Chains A and B, each alone.
Chain A
Amino acid sequence: MSQSMSIPASQTRRPATMSAGMSDRWFSILLITPAMVVILVFALLPLAYALDVSFRFADLTRGRLGDFVGLDNYRIVLADEAFWKSVGVTLQFTVSAVALEMVLGIAIAFLINGATAGKGIIRSLMVLPLATSAAVTGLFWRYLYDTQFGLINYFLGLLHLPQPNWLGDYTIALWSVVLFDVWQWTPFVALIALAGLQALPKEPFEAAELDGASTFRVLRTLTFPMLKPVLFLVLVLRTIDSVRLYDAVAVLTRGGPGTTTESMTFYLYRTGLKLFRMDYASTMAVFFLYAMLVASLFALAPLLKQFSTRASEG
């Protein structure tokens, strides 16, 4: 296994004298045209549309888009308690799920990395949850969580532990969604951390060994600093995914009991397509997008830079 986050490649440009007929420049633009048209038309146009709707009255039960109402929708949404509650649920889910996945995933990676035999089969079993859809396996988890027929409570009963009402209890339901997410995505963190561990150079560790450095010191001064770029990447990818939480909520709890598991995405969906208030829903979408853009400026800038340097080095 070899891995590289940044490959120092010499910048060799194609000699300009080779261009017969079409120039390199035009050829390169021609090649990206189909993809760029798709992205610009189907990403930016809908966003402009959402922005437009967010400034209008749009109750789908009363027909078409209505008049401009200025910032009214923004005032209403920002004063909407249910909206802020869904933001809270989303943050609570994201922080707990991502933290658990990172800690467990890294621990599992260390565990597997030290194993002498069977790494292949271990990895094969680990990737399986990644092939499944949250909507399909999540639905089946409802059966596992069932208070009557569920396997989880059956095992807890055998061990004489309390048998909670996983999806029906106000205080537990969100944790049940977290547990499902941890099941599906911890292997992802573990696999990538493992690839990072296996790609570490041997020499610094041999030197530390000769110097008699303690295991803890090696971890703190060598292993983790060298793993940092990979771990940061995983953290960002998991966070982006988690704040969009929808599938698991839709099949496991439908936002309930009450609205205790209603994520921002789910509330937005309910406002727009169940209550048909497209104006409020679009306003939330704009707000959500804005939050993501701001977050990416601060949290993702280093990662994007890393990506871009790698690309321009190629």
Chain B
Amino acid sequence: MLQRPTSFATEALRYGLIVLVLAFIVFPILWMVVTSFKPPQDVMVSPPRFLFTPTLDNYVHAIWEKNFLFYIKNTLFISVTSTVLVVVAGALAAYSFARYNVGDGHILFFILSTKMFPAIAVILPYFLIFRDTGKTAVGRFLGVGLDQPGALIISYTMFNLPFAIWLLVSFFQDIPRELEHSARLDGLSRMKVLRKVVFPLAAPGIAVTGVFTLIFCWNEFLFAYILTRKTASTITVGVESFFTLQGILWGPVAAAATISVLPMMAFVLLMQRYMVRGLTFGAVRG
């Protein structure tokens, strides 16, 4: 847009407002990190204390007494497995949609429409089905049952596939067809073209899709809350164990929240360039 001549006053006003907005956005996160380093006696005080001697007590409490690393380990295993499944199945399908236009857009349309499914509508059947499979030998072996990782992996794979396919289609469309064409003329099979030409070229897009999927799985709450109790619980459910009879232990909650949020923030900052594209399913190539 065209820059109109601006006075110093309007610029000052603009930056004043921007600082206000940023303060509103950053402050809750900042206060969470600050609280996580407070000595326990400084957390539940009124008025809130801004000056204190930082300590790691809350982290020690979260990790040793509440066993928070256990939830991190579960979350990591479930999220990474789901992400791998989503990316592999999604990339194959997305390539097919982008290049061969299989189903003339109708199948792709159907896949997007599953995004409208309210998760809660399938969660009761999931609960009933996994309750049954968990009792069978095969279900136990594969870990597909209530409070077992397989149930969440299936749920997350299903619920992230539509998003991943749409985003990946947009990335595959950016790759010029000519390269595949000449590789085919050189006598490579279709599968080889896919492996040696297409996927390496689409690697950044595949990585971006993977990171987005990982973030969604990492932060998921509804399925984790309903399908797990203890052994397969993820961090979002794990923080619930900080509710005690004396009330919520805010210091350790802040520590646990900080541990679980920081890696995702790092990812988001790394992927800033692709944020808009990822959040709109590839529709806006910001």
Residue ranges of A at the interface with B (Cβ–Cβ < 8 Å): 1-5, 7, 9, 12, 14, 18, 21-22, 24-25, 27-29, 31-32, 34-36, 38-39, 42-43, 45-47, 49-50, 53, 108, 111-116, 122-137, 139-144, 148-151, 154, 157, 183, 186-188, 191-192, 195-200, 202, 205-206, 209, 215, 223, 230, 233-234, 237, 240, 243-244, 246-247, 250, 265, 268-269, 272-273, 278, 281-282, 285-286, 288-289, 292-293, 296, 300, 304, 306-312, 314
Contacts and interface: CB of A to CB of B under 8 A. Distances in A.
Interface string B261-274: 10011011100100
A130 to B, nearest CB: 6
Closest 3 pairs between A and B when the two form their complex, measured CB to CB: A195-B286, A133-B219, A28-B100
B121 A296 contact: no
B261 A38 contact: no
A127 B272 contact: yes
Interface string B97-131: 11111111101110111111111111111111100
Contact of A42 (B6, B121, B154, B215): B154
Interface stretch (B55-63, B134-142, B201-209, B247-255): B247-255
B114 A43 contact: yes
Nearest to A150: B48
Given A35-B90, A127-B269, A139-B253, A308 B161 contact: no
Contacts of A116: 11
23 contacts: A14-B181, A31-B95, A35-B93, A39-B161, A43-B122, A47-B121, A115-B18, A128-B26, A133-B260, A136-B239, A139-B257, A143-B35, A143-B250, A196-B286, A205-B2, A244-B120, A246-B222, A250-B221, A285-B124, A289-B121, A306-B283, A307-B108, A314-B99
Contact of A24 (B100, B112, B250, B279): B100
A293 B92 contact: no
B116 A3 contact: no
Nearest to A9: B173
B118 A265 contact: yes
B158 A133 contact: no
Nearest to A234: B280
A231 to B, nearest CB: 11
A233 B17 contact: no
A32 B92 contact: yes
Contacts of B189: 21
A273 B126 CA distance: 12
B29 A136 contact: no
B125 A49 contact: yes
B253 A311 contact: no
Contacts of A133: 218-221, 235-236, 260-261, 264
Interface string B20-61: 011011101101100100000001111110000000000000
B162 interface: yes
Given A131-B267, A192-B280, A247 B226 contact: no
Contacts of A29: 96, 102
A53 B121 CA distance: 12
A127 B221 contact: no
A311 B28 contact: no
A195 B273 CA distance: 11
Contacts of A123: 272
Nearest to A4: B285
Contacts of B1: 113-114, 197, 200, 202, 205, 223
Contacts of A309: 105
Given A47-B122, A128-B25, A36 B107 contact: yes
Chain B CB within 10 Å — which of A141, A149, A289 has the most? A149
